[in-house]
Amino acid sequence: MSSATLPRFDLKGWDKTDIANPYPVYQRYREVAPVHREASGTGGPDTFFVFSYEEVVRVLSNRLFGRDSAVASGDATAVSGPIPAEQQALRSIIGNWLVFMDPPRHTELRSQLNAEFSPSVVAGLRPRIRQLADELVARLGQRRQADLVEGFAAPFPILVISELLGIPAEDQEWLRANAVALQEASTTRARQGANGYARAEAAAQEFTRYFRREVDQRRGDAREDLLTLLIRARDGGAPLSVDGIVGTCVHLLTAGHETTTNLLAKAVLALRAHPLVLDELRGAPELMPAAAEEFLRYDAPVQAVTRWAYQDSLLGDCEVPRGSRVVALLGSANRDPARFPQPDVLDIHRPADRQLGFGLGIHYCLGATLARAEAEIGLSALLHGIPGLGGGDQQVEYADDMVFHGPARLVLTLSDRT
């Protein structure tokens, strides 16, 4: 088969079965066209979808590929990104997201935030993270039927990041609903209509009001939290603007929320499908860090990340012109047999090898250590607090999203044992 015979590839419009298991689709492309070109069809730049581990690493570790479509196209007057100009609050927030910055702006802000997400800071947070997990699991454990996403996987990371930022736990429902609405503008879900942008703009305005108030409170009354640190942080030598602080807070909430939710929910699904692994982990909690790493490889919570070609370059056999969009499929790279033997097998004893669930290069996940701690602590709490986690019926409904990938609902009938 040649790449010309492959169906059109897009991150939108997948059917539910393929969303739940995209790996056979990726395998087909990886074997035939590890770098696959799709014409835009609308006169815009072509997109190159990158499926193999080797080429995904090349894209993420190479400065020829950056974050700004305006830089890539060489048109300094072009508006960066797809967000319409009238969505002002949204453009301001997303314009301050680390993940969309190039150096040198990225380097400065990242080095300031790194300190707050270091292994020693996260180690200090672990007891509180455990307490939050245990409280949620205790509530969940009293139910015969429960949606694991709503009851645990979604609130848990929001509670952790709220704690870190120093914002009240009682605001978590509101924060979560707004974070989800804002994601409408930054994922494949989004681009399905102008309504997505309107909802995201409304959420952005609410976030702006909320975090401006939190900043004002701390200006007169410094606290021991990340928000206070952001007020002291500098961007290019000057203190961060209020918009910079608001944007960073929202970035941490959104980047650290749905990703971790998806990791936890998909890890539970994987454990239910592999009862021997579930039993092994219950008996040997010291295996949990390696297991969390394998869950990230086996079913990546973020399936794809986007870059723009800043110069003409070569990826695989494809010549990639400057200005092209390049989509690196982390989920596919993590199942590449050239890197991971028997990639479709869940094996928590795999030698630690560089899975790409947290990305790579300068944008490697800022919250990776925190997310690993949340996964280890959250999954241990579930395994030990819910005896029926591995049994009973389940109803799974995946979100219609091939970037932030995972179930929107995971309803379990919790039996008494296993």
Task: Return residues touching ligand HEM (CB under 6 A).
Answer: 98-99, 110, 161, 251-252, 255-256, 259-260, 263, 301-302, 305, 357-359, 363, 365-367, 370-371
Euclidean distance between CA atoms 367 and 372, whole angstroms: 9
E strands present in 19-100: 35-38, 47-50, 65-66
Least distance from C-beta 375 to ligand HEM, angstroms? 6
Euclidean distance between CA atoms 111 and 225, whole angstroms: 17
Strand partners, 35: 50
Q: Which is nearer to ligand HEM, 98 or 326 (CB)?
A: 98
With beta carbons less than 8 A apart as the criterion, state whether 393 and 412 touch. yes
Least distance from C-beta 293 to ligand HEM, angstroms? 11
Let me know the angle formed at the C-alpha of 335 by 329 and 339, rounded to the nearest 5 degrees: 105
DSSP type of residue 302: B
Least distance from C-beta 192 to ligand HEM, angstroms? 21
Euclidean distance between CA atoms 144 and 4, whole angstroms: 51
Q: Which is nearer to ligand HEM, 155 or 367 (CB)?
A: 367
| Distances from the Cα of 195 to the Cα of 189, 250, 404, angstroms | 11, 20, 19
Euclidean distance between CA atoms 112 and 198, whole angstroms: 33
Question: What one-letter code names the amino acid at 326?
Answer: V
Q: Which is nearer to ligand HEM, 375 or 414 (CB)?
A: 375
Question: What one-letter code names the amino acid at 42?
Answer: T
Q: Which is nearer to ligand HEM, 181 or 365 (CB)?
A: 365
DSSP type of residue 390: G
Q: Which is nearer to ligand HEM, 114 or 395 (CB)?
A: 114
Q: Which is nearer to ligand HEM, 357 or 390 (CB)?
A: 357
Least distance from C-beta 99 to ligand HEM, angstroms? 4
Question: Residue 302's closest CA among 273, 338, 334?
Answer: 334
Is 123 in a helix, a strand, or coil?
Answer: helix
Least distance from C-beta 307 to ligand HEM, angstroms? 8
Is 107 in a helix, a strand, or coil?
Answer: helix
Least distance from C-beta 241 to ligand HEM, angstroms? 18
Least distance from C-beta 387 to ligand HEM, angstroms? 26
Least distance from C-beta 156 to ligand HEM, angstroms? 11
Q: Which residue is nearest to ligand HEM (CB)?
A: 367
Question: Residue 257's closest CA among 156, 137, 119?
Answer: 156
Euclidean distance between CA atoms 263 and 205, whole angstroms: 29
Beta strand pairing status for 325-329 and 47-50? parallel
Q: Which is nearer to ligand HEM, 248 or 414 (CB)?
A: 248
Q: Which is nearer to ligand HEM, 199 or 405 (CB)?
A: 405
Least distance from C-beta 365 to ligand HEM, angstroms? 3
Q: Which is nearer to ligand HEM, 215 or 305 (CB)?
A: 305
